[in-house]
Every structure is written in structure tokens, then in C-alpha cells.
Amino acid sequence: MGRLSGFRYREIVKKLKTFGFVFDRQAAGSHEIWYNPARNLYTTIPNHSGDMPEGTLRAI
């Protein structure tokens, strides 16, 4: 278990908002696309129950 593991969806959303991301749209299935207008940057996050795997968090 690495230092990034153990985060849940709601915790990830809170972090994204502190970094200036806003919800953009719903993607395929249970994924969401978030946008940072200040940096013109998009990221996709899964909306799953339970903890996110460390590899998924690194990709975000």
C-alpha cells in the first residue's frame, strides 16, 4: 500500500476543487471529466465506490 492509496471519490473531488478544477461533463460509464480553466487542463476520474487504486490516482 503506497502513500497515494486510500483516497475515495469524494476526497479526490475536494482536492480537484482546491486545485481549481470544475466539473465539465459526464463521460462514458461512471467516469467524469473535470476541467481547470486557469491551466486549460482536463482530467478524467472514475466515480466508483471504495478506495481508488494508487495507479489510478497517479494517472489523475
Domains parsed from the chain with CATH numbers: 9-59 (3.30.920.30)
Dist. CA 22–CA 6, nearest whole Å = 23
Residue-wise pLDDT tens digits, 5-35 = 678 889 999 999 999 999 999 988 899 999 9
In this prediction, residue 15 carries a pLDDT of: 92
pLDDT band at residue 54 using 50, 70 and 90 as cut-offs: confident
| DSSP for residue 11 | H
* Contact in structure between 52 and 7 (CB atoms under 8 Å): yes
Q: What is the pTM of this model?
A: 0.81
